[in-house]
Amino acid sequence: MTITLDEIKTVDEAPAEKAMKKTIIVFSGEMDRVLAAFVLANAAAAMDDEVTMFFTFWGLNVLRKDHPPHPRKTLLQKMFGRMMPRGPEHLTLSHLNFAGMGPVLMKKAMRDAHVLSLQDLIDSAREQGVKFIACTMSMDVMGIKAEELVDGVEFAGAAAYLGEADEANVNLFI
Amino acid sequence: MTITLDEIKTVDEAPAEKAMKKTIIVFSGEMDRVLAAFVLANAAAAMDDEVTMFFTFWGLNVLRKDHPPHPRKTLLQKMFGRMMPRGPEHLTLSHLNFAGMGPVLMKKAMRDAHVLSLQDLIDSAREQGVKFIACTMSMDVMGIKAEELVDGVEFAGAAAYLGEADEANVNLFI
Amino acid sequence: MTITLDEIKTVDEAPAEKAMKKTIIVFSGEMDRVLAAFVLANAAAAMDDEVTMFFTFWGLNVLRKDHPPHPRKTLLQKMFGRMMPRGPEHLTLSHLNFAGMGPVLMKKAMRDAHVLSLQDLIDSAREQGVKFIACTMSMDVMGIKAEELVDGVEFAGAAAYLGEADEANVNLFI
């Protein structure tokens, strides 16, 4: 069977079309880095890209409920739980934190510049269908239980992340 | 129309040739991370890759003039402006900073090892045609005005970055 | 010569199969970030991906022997050498470090969660054939000599990293 040039073009273009997926590993729990992650996730989703965010280590704190239930934990897990921020309102800055004044000023500067707050960006990402995956290994180590995280989060490990990354054309570690 | 194997090879190899573009998000304003970004950018440009660097958040400080004009700012914008370093000579280290002694020692160690200084690496990147984009959203939040940044910088947002990243085969967040 | 559709498919699929390589730049020497790098490297290797880890700046400390020989160094190189941690057992945490208590607690939490230690993850990565490259430019700047690093490490610069990244479909900077 001989084929036409048009048929070849179709075959060639198919991978490019499928590759418009993005993954972001949210490792850091610092407000500024988390903001960058969600600005990128929202921008990509607005361009109709599929987006998967994989929350691991300190990044898990973004997904923590402000007033979670109290699951059974070891003493060490309780310590980690208490020392880490619960949810986007409590994150600190990587620079100029000044014992908590930095985030307050950053939030005001964002309002002044008419930029969405982190919570708004998170809500917008979810509305746009961005997939949130919580890293189960980090949860085990830090003693974070599924019921302490906000609803609508999937639970998976590094292999699942790699599966998503293999389908994506942009993969960032933040 | 039938085609030859040679014609198909040309079609197949074209995407690979086009994909030799790199993007680097310079989020951090720490001297060591910025150095890594510019070493990679220069190396890629030397290999004839197209390179786009997207400066956002603290990374914008790399592009600030040492003696900028004084545009009108709110009190909060003035605070951010004063507390953040102006240009590559004033960046701090992420480790071993020792209240500013670390960067001095690092610069000396770089000279001893015959490694280009950060300023030289920046100049070399520009000479090699590396594209610098300043993130307009971060500029708005931090109150950094276009005239405070060095010449030859483009201004754009996250969507523009994603457009560049879609054309690249290596995308790093530093 | 005319060709068949089957032949074209073979040509098209080849790049996708070859692209299952991953690169990770280990820039940070913080225990938590290094852990994330090795968890991902091990997971990718377990999925039969080729993995290259490029250790640069503080990340080089991961590869340092605990009791190295004493090569000739300048005073500045000796200072850097003494102030930086030697090997995976001595890394600090990026958060909650508490003058060294954080890493101790993190190690205990990892044992409690039946997660491999960093040293085990490093050994496992090597057994799975993960390639370790030490950045020669960083070694020069920090005065780290080849004999101070663990065996089996390759030595190369940014151009070599970019060559590896061009062959990979996921490239992370950690």
Who wins on pLDDT, B4 or C172? C172
User: Per the structure block, which two tokens stand in for C138?
Assistant: 């960083």
Give the pLDDT confidence score for residue C3 in this predicted structure.
47
Cβ pair B161:A20 closer than 8 A? no
Which residues, 6+ apart, have CB-to-CB distance to C66 below 8 Å? C86, C87, C89, C90
Q: Is residue A14 part of a domain?
A: no
Q: Is residue B4 part of a domain?
A: no
- Across residues C164-172, what is the average pLDDT? 97
- Across residues A103-130, what is the average pLDDT? 94
**Domain count along chain A:** 1
Q: Which of C39, C50, C97, C108 to mutate to test the interface with A (most CBs of A within 10 A)?
A: C39
Residues of A in contact with C46 (CB under 8 A): 159
Burial class (CB in 10 A: 0-12, 13-18, 19+), C68: middle
Q: Is residue C15 part of a domain?
A: no
Give the pLDDT confidence score for residue C80 in this predicted structure.
86
Cβ pair B4:C8 closer than 8 A? no
Q: Is residue C117 part of a domain?
A: yes
Q: Is residue C82 part of a domain?
A: yes
Q: Which amino acid is at B96?
A: L
Closest CA to A26 of A8, A38, A16: A38
Q: Which of A105-109, B4-8, B161-165, C142-146 has the lowest mean pLDDT?
A: B4-8
- Per-residue HEC secondary structure of chain B comes to CCCCHHHHHHHHHHHHHHCCEEEEEECCCCHHHHHHHHHHHHHHHHCCCEEEEEECHHHHHHHECCCCCCCCCCHHHHHHHHHCCCCHHHCCCCCCCHHHHHHHHHHHHHHHCCCCCHHHHHHHHHHCCCEEEEEHHHHHHHCCCHHHECCCCEEECHHHHHHHHHCCCEEEEC
- Across residues A76-100, what is the average pLDDT? 87
Please give the residue range of the domain that contains residue A117: 27-60+89-173
Give the integer Cα–Cα distance in Å for C58 and B33: 10
Q: Is residue A12 part of a domain?
A: no
CA A161 to chain centre: 12
Residues of B in contact with C12 (CB under 8 A): 12
* CATH code (residue A160): 3.40.1260.10
Give the integer Cα–Cα distance in Å for C24 and C49: 13
Give the pLDDT confidence score for residue A80 in this predicted structure.
86
Cα of B22 to nearest chain C Cα, Å: 10
Q: Which of B13, B24, B95 to mutate to test the interface with C (most CBs of C within 10 A)?
A: B95
Residues of B in contact with A22 (CB under 8 A): 162
Give the pLDDT confidence score for residue C4 in this predicted structure.
46
Which residues, 6+ apart, have CB-to-CB distance to C38 below 8 Å? C118, C121, C122, C125
Cβ pair C171:B174 closer than 8 A? no
Residues of A in contact with C20 (CB under 8 A): 166
Cβ pair B94:C2 closer than 8 A? no
Cβ pair A36:B27 closer than 8 A? yes
Cβ pair B95:C29 closer than 8 A? yes
- Across residues A126-147, what is the average pLDDT? 96
Residues of B in contact with A106 (CB under 8 A): 141
- How many CB pairs below 8 Å do chains A and B form together? 88
Who wins on pLDDT, B83 or A118? A118
Give pLDDT tens digits for A85-94. 999 999 998 8
Give the integer Cα–Cα distance in Å for B30 and B27: 9
Give pLDDT tens digits for C42-100. 999 999 999 999 999 999 999 999 888 888 898 888 888 888 999 999 999 888 887 77
Q: Which of C15, C27, C162 sits opposite B36 (nearest CB)?
A: C27
Interface of chain C toward chain A, CB-CB under 8 angstroms: 2-5, 8-9, 12, 16, 20, 22, 32-33, 35-36, 39-40, 42-44, 46-47, 49, 94-96, 105-106, 108-110, 112-115, 169-174
Cβ pair A173:B171 closer than 8 A? no
Give the pLDDT confidence score for residue C107 in this predicted structure.
92
User: Per the structure block, which two tokens stand in for A112?
Assistant: 């002044």
Give the pLDDT confidence score for residue B97 in this predicted structure.
80
Cα dist from B39 to B117, B121, C24, C95, whole Å: 10, 7, 16, 28
Give pLDDT tens digits for C13-43. 444 444 599 999 999 999 999 999 999 999 9
Q: Is residue A114 part of a domain?
A: yes
Question: Quick check: A159 pLDDT over 50?
Answer: yes
For residue B56, give the chain A residue with the closest CA: A36
Strands A170-173 and A21-26: parallel
Give the pLDDT confidence score for residue B82 in this predicted structure.
87
Mapping DSSP to helix (H, G, I), strand (E, B) and coil, where does residue C69 land? coil
Q: Which of C15, C77, C158 sits opposite B39 (nearest CB)?
A: C158
Cβ pair C29:B2 closer than 8 A? no
- How many CB pairs below 8 Å do chains B and C form together? 87
> pLDDT digit of tens for each residue in chain B (174 aa)?
444 444 444 444 444 444 599 999 999 999 999 999 999 999 999 999 999 999 999 999 999 998 888 888 888 888 888 889 999 999 998 888 877 788 888 999 999 999 999 999 999 999 999 999 999 999 999 999 999 999 999 999 999 999 999 999 999 999
Question: Quick check: A1 pLDDT over 80?
Answer: no
Cβ pair A162:C110 closer than 8 A? no
Question: Quick check: A51 pLDDT over 50?
Answer: yes
Q: Is residue A8 part of a domain?
A: no
Give the integer Cα–Cα distance in Å for A43 and A41: 6
